[in-house]
Structure 1
C-alpha cells in the first residue's frame, strides 16, 4: 500500500517548491514526486512548513551525551575533558548503553536526523574482557537505532594503542582504553566481520586516529573497508599535539601517514581535519577523501576552526556531525560552519544555504554509505524532515527563502515531522515510538551516575 505526503513547501535541491506530492511505495522508497499541487490530494498526510530530505549526522559518540553540562564545570583542555569521558565509559554495559543510545537517537529523530554515523570504539567490558557476544555493545547501538526509528551506520573502530610510538608500534592502552582495544587490527577485523548489515543498519569501519592505530596496522583497516566497499572514517588532526607526535615519530603529518598507508580515498572521511598543512589539504582533496566538520564540538573543546572552504575547493566533500552532543542540532552545525568561517576571515557568504543543506543531507548520507538517501526524488529512500515556518524563530521570511530560514534561523526545536522510510517517527513534534524522550534521557543518564 502506497503512502502519500503533501509537502506545503519542499526543498528540491537547490530550489524551494510549493505544493509537492510525494508518493511512497511499500519498500519505503519514493515512487513519485509531483510539484504544483495547490491542495493536498485525498488521503494525503499533510506536512506543513518546509520539508527537506532527512538529515544525516555523520559523526556521533552516543555515550558522550551523558557528559552534557557535566564537562562545563571549570576550565581545562581536550585532554582533561577526555578524563571525564573515560569515567562515563567505565560505567557502561550493553544494557545501560542500549538505554542511553535509544534515548539519544530519539533526541536525534526529534531534531530531524534520520541517519546517524556512530563512531563506535567502546567494544569490551572494563579491563578489556570480551562479552560473551564480542559485539554486544555494537549490537546494543544497532538495536537502539531501530527502536528510535532511525538508520545507523555503525563505524566499528580500531583502537589498539594509547599514543604514537615508533614506526611499528604504539604505546599500550591505559586502563580506561583496554575496553576499546582488540589487541591488534587483525583481531579487530575478525570481530568486526561478525557484524552484519540490516535494513536500517550498515557496517563501516574507522581508524580512531593515528595515535590509536600504529602505522603498520593502518593498512589492515583500510583493506577491510575496501574489500567490502564500506565507509571508512578517521579522527584526523583534531589536536596540534597529534600532529607534533606524528612528525616526531614518522617525520610526516597524520594526513601524509594515512595517504602512504592507503587509508585516503572517496570512501574515506576525515573527521575534524582541523590543523592541516597546504599539502594535507591537497592530499585530502585530490583523493576525494571527505571532511566531516563538527563545529559545536570543535568550539566546545576549543579545538579550533578547520579549513573547510579550502578543503571543499580542493575536492573534499563536506558533511556534518554532532560528535560529543554538546547540542544535537544539524541546523546549528551547518550555520556554525559558515559563521565560524566569517569570524576567521571577516568576510561573509562562503557557502549558500543550499550548499550547507547538501552537507547535512545528501553528502552526509554518502559519507555513511547511504547513497540512496538525502534527496527528495524518485527512487530515493523516503526520509523527510519538516521544519516549521511559523515559529518565533522562523516566522516572517518568504517561503521561497525556506532554505535560508532553515539554516540561518531554525533550530532542532522547529522540527515538526520526521519520516523514515515513509513511516512517521516524529509527528507534530512528538516522538511516535519512544514518547517521553526527555524522561528517557533523564533515566538513562541518571542510571550511569548512580
Structure 2
C-alpha cells in the first residue's frame, strides 16, 4: 500500500509530495519529490506527522470531565470525585468507556497510549476470577479503537507513606487498587503478555502508595523484562513534606536510592523538584512526562521541564485526567507555561515540542521503532488540516509551527496505525459514533 502525503514532517523539515510505501504494518520506503499521487495511492491532504504518543492516561478519568470543573478545591478534593467513579467500574463498563476514550484519542492523532492502570480488583479488593480482568479490558479497548497500548500495570499498596515496610493501609476506596504487597503485584502483573499492538510495563503509583522497602521489587520486575517503568513524582508538595518527615529525603532521592530511576523510567509531572532532584532525574536519564492541562486543571503547579531537559531528561507528554484530549495543546502548553513562569519566550522550537509528543513519547512507552517517518519505522502517522480557520494562511514550510501553536485535535483528518486507516476524513472507521459511545459509557458510570 502507498500513502501520498501532500506535506510531511521528515524530522528536520517540511517536505512536499512524499510517498510512503507500507507493508506488514511498517514503512518500507519514503519517496520524496513525488509531485502527484501515484496510481492507487491513498491521498492524505494536509500536513502528515508521526503518530502522537499519549504517555500518561487514566482512561476512567474521562468520566470526570465537566463534573470536576464545577466550584473550587484542590487536588485532594478532586480525588474524592475520582474515587467515586473508580468505585463503579467493572470490566464491562471499563471496556466500554476505554474503547470510546481511545477512539477519541485516535481522532486526536494519538496512535499509542500509556495507560497508568491501577483499578485492578473488584470493590473491596476482592480479586476477579481472571486476575487481570480490568487490564485485559483496557487492552481489548485499545484493540477495538485501533491504537497501540502500553499497559503500565501499577503497584498501589498504601494510602500514605507511614512506616518504611508497609506504609499506611489502603482506604476503603483504595482497596481495589492494592495487591497487598509488591511481590503479589509482581505475580499478577507477570500474567500479562506483550503483543503486536501491546506492551506491558510497570508503574509505581507514587512514594505515597508503595512503601520504600518495596520499591525495588517493582523496579526489578521492570528491569528483568526491559520494560518501561513510570511513577508519579512530586506532583504535590504534601507528598514531598511527608517523604521528608518519614525518610529524611525527597521522593526523587528515595526513588534513586531504591534503584527506580534510570533510562527506562519516566517520572510523571516532576512538578516540585529541588535542584538536587533535577540533577538526579536528568543525570540518571530518567524521562519526564508533562501533563500541562491536568497540572493546570488541578492547580498542581508548573514543573521545571526546561531545567530537566537541560540536565538530560527526555520529555514526553500526556493527557492524564483527560480534561481535554489534545496532544498538540499539551505540546504548546508546555512552552506557554514556561513563558509564564520565566517571562521569556522560545524555550523549545515547534520541532522539539513535536518530538516530545511523538518520538520521545513512544520511546517512553517502549515503542522505540515508532514516532518517525522513515523506512523501517512502524507505519503510524496522522494528518493535520492546513485549511481550517485556525491553520489557514501560513506558508506550508511553517506547517510544524502552525500545527503545534495553532492547530487542535479538531484539525486531525487522518490517523493511520500499523498501516491501517483508523481515522479517515475526520471520522473513526472502527467506532462509528464516538460521541454517543462516550455519552453512553459515562452515563452508565454515573447512574
TM superposition score normalised by structure 2: 1.00
Which residue number in structure 2 is paired with residue 418 of structure 1?
415
In the alignment, which residue of structure 1 is the partner of 2:53? 56
Instruction: Indicate the residue corresponding to 1:212 in structure 2.
Output: 209
CA shift at 1:14, angstroms?
1.9
What is the match of residue 426 of structure 2? Answer: 429
Q: What is the CA distance between 1:402 and its match in structure 2?
A: 0.6
Give the distance between the partners of 2:193 and 2:164, measured in 1 at CA: 33
Q: What are the equivalent positions in structure 2 for 1:293-312 lying under 5 Å apart?
A: 293-312=290-309
Post-superposition Cα deviations, 1:217-250, rounded to whole Å, max 9, x if no partner, equal 0000000000000000000000000000000000
| 2:226 matches 1:229 | yes
**In the aligned structure 2, how far is the partner of 1:271 from the partner of 1:35?**
38
Q: Is residue 7–residue 20 contact of structure 1 (8 Å, CA) maintained in 2? A: yes
d(CA) in 2 for partners of 1:147, 1:126: 26
Instruction: Tell me which residue corresponds to 1:11.
Output: 9
Matched, 1:121 2:124: no
Q: Counterparts of 1:158-307 in structure 2 under 5 Å?
A: 158-307=155-304
Asked if 1:336 corresponds to 2:316, the answer is no
Match of 2:102 in 1: 105
Please tell me whether residue 42 in structure 1 is matched to residue 39 in structure 2. yes
State the aligned residue count: 447
- In structure 1, how many angstroms separate the alpha carbons of the residues matched to 2:403 and 2:167? 45
Q: 2:79 aligns to what?
A: 82
Q: Does 2:310 match 1:313?
A: yes
1:446 equivalent in structure 2: 443
Q: 1:31-77: per-residue Cα shift (whole Å, max 9, x none)?
A: 00011111111110000000000000000000000000000111010
Aligned to 1:127, what secondary structure does the other structure show? helix
Q: Secondary structure at the match of 2:97?
A: helix
- What is the CA–CA distance in structure 2 between the aligned matches of 1:34 and 1:266, rounded to whole Å? 34
Measure, in 1, the Cα distance between the counterparts of 2:137 and 2:103: 15
Deviation at 1:168, TM superposition (A): 2.3
Q: Does the Cα contact within 8 Å between 1:58 and 1:320 map onto a contact in 2?
A: yes
* C-alpha deviation, 1:166, in angstroms: 2.0
Runs of 4 or more, structure 1, over 4 Å off, are none
Aligned position for 1:141 = 138
After TM superposition, give the deviation of residue 273 of structure 1 in Å: 0.1
1:326 is paired with a residue whose SS is coil
Please report the RMSD computed on the Cα atoms of aligned residues, expressed in angstroms.
0.4
Report the secondary structure of 2:123's partner residue: coil
Shift of 1:169: 2.4
> What is the CA–CA distance in structure 1 between the aligned matches of 2:177 and 2:261, rounded to whole Å?
23
CA offset digits 1:257-292 (Å, max 9, x no partner): 000000000000000000000000000010000000
- The corresponding residue for 1:376 is 373
Q: Is the 8 A contact 1:124 1:137 kept in 2?
A: yes
In structure 2, stretches of 5+ residues that fail to align are none
SS of alignment partner, residue 51 of structure 1? strand
TM-score by length of 1: 0.99
- Tell me the SS of whatever aligns to 2:124: coil
Q: Distance in 2 between matches of 1:109 and 1:50?
A: 16
Aligned partner of 2:21 in structure 1 is 23
Query: What is the CA-CA distance between 1:198 and the residue it aligns to?
Result: 1.1
What is the CA-CA distance between 1:153 and the residue it aligns to? 0.1
Does residue 1:394 correspond to 2:391, yes or no? yes
Residue segments in structure 1 that go unaligned for 5+ positions in a row:
none
Q: Distance in 2 between matches of 1:360 and 1:32?
A: 23
Separation (CA, whole Å) in 2 of partners of 1:168 and 1:425: 47
